[in-house]
């Protein structure tokens, strides 16, 4: 069976069938699909952590997560877990991974190990399409801004009483010291396209703006960017590997599977410092 790529929507996401992520000869078409669609769901992959690590290293260096519990003996592989008796899921709010780092993550690679029969999907939003749909005036305003991103309020001591913390799914609160300033509109390092680079979870304010002013604009952008025409939805099954570009997308977990277990293995790949979008010379 040959590798085939099937778009999920007209603007973001694709499924890949007939692939074998352990075959290095298939990496080039997988990477091309990742660049073209920003989110790819590779179906029917039954791999061990060693194989997931080897596959991830073809994208770049691996970021060892500071906060998530990891698979025993594999610190590179974070566990994204919700047990049947737990009520909160990790990642329920729209966000992009590691925007609080000075060089934000390139991509995340999530391997479904155990999934509910129904529910537990992940929804993604395109920061290409949503930015392109803004008015010219707002695009020009955003191009001139920079924004602060932080890990402190999500992974720090303020979350000590959260279910994720008390159940051991996340920890290491003392390591939540990251604050980074990034352009609000970036020139994507892979595609060369303009993309919006703020998110409702980790972006705390625009540089030089008050918290109230910043939250008003972030709330507006959240409502705009999550319109159905800018999104796709991945339905999981054991063996699905979904890879998303953290510089071009937001995502959120859908927590609609209470009483069922969901276990995923996640690897995050290091990225590069982001450059602001400047007009391309004619």
User: CA geometry: angle at 33 spanning 48 and 49, to 5°?
Assistant: 10
- d(Cα 110, Cα 48) in Å, to the nearest integer? 13
Tokens of 65: 């997560």
d(CA 275, CA 36): 20
Q: 163, 81 in Cβ contact below 8 A?
A: no
Query: Residue 93 and residue 226: Cα distance in Å, rounded?
Result: 12
**36 annotated active-site:** no
Q: Is 266 a catalytic residue?
A: yes
Known catalytic residue at 37: no
- Neighbour-count burial for 171-190, b at 16+ CB within 10 Å, e otherwise: eebeebebebebbbbbbbeb
| From 149, 188, 251, 262, active-site residue | 251
Selecting among 37, 66, 149, 266, the annotated active-site residue is: 266
- Which of these is catalytic: 37, 66, 95, 247? 95
Which one is catalytic: 97, 98, 111, 188? 97
User: Is 95 annotated in the active site?
Assistant: yes
Gyration radius from the chain CA atoms: 18
Q: Which residues have a catalytic role annotated?
A: 95, 97, 251, 266
């Amino acid at each position: 069976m040959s590798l085939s790529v099937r778009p999920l929507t007209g603007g973001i996401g694709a499924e890949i069938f007939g692939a074998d992520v352990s075959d290095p000869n298939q990496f080039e078409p997988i990477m091309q699909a990742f660049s073209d669609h920003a989110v790819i769901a590779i179906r029917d992959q039954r791999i061990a952590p060693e194989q997931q690590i080897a596959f991830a290293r073809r994208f770049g260096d691996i970021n060892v997560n500071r906060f998530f519990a990891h698979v025993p003996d594999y610190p590179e592989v974070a566990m994204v877990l919700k047990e049947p008796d737990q009520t909160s899921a990790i990642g329920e709010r729209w966000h992009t991974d590691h925007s609080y780092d000075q060089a934000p993550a390139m991509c995340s690679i999530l391997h479904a190990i155990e999934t509910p029969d129904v529910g537990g999907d992940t929804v993604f939003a395109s920061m290409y399409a949503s930015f392109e749909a803004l008015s010219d005036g707002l695009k020009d305003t955003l191009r001139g801004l920079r924004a602060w991103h932080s890990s402190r309020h999500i992974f720090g001591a303020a979350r000590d009483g959260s279910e994720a913390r008390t159940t051991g799914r996340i920890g290491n609160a003392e390591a939540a010291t990251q604050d980074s300033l990034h352009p609000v509109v970036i020139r994507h390092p892979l595609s060369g396209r303009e993309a919006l680079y703020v998110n409702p979870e980790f972006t705390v304010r625009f540089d030089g703006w008050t918290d109230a002013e910043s939250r008003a604009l972030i709330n507006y952008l959240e409502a705009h960017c999550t319109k159905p025409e800018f999104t796709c939805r991945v339905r999981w099954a054991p063996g699905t590997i979904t890879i998303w570009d953290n510089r071009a997308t937001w995502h959120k977990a859908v927590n609609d599977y209470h009483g069922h277990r969901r276990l995923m293995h996640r690897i995050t790949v290091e990225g590069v410092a982001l450059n602001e979008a400047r007009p391309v010379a004619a």
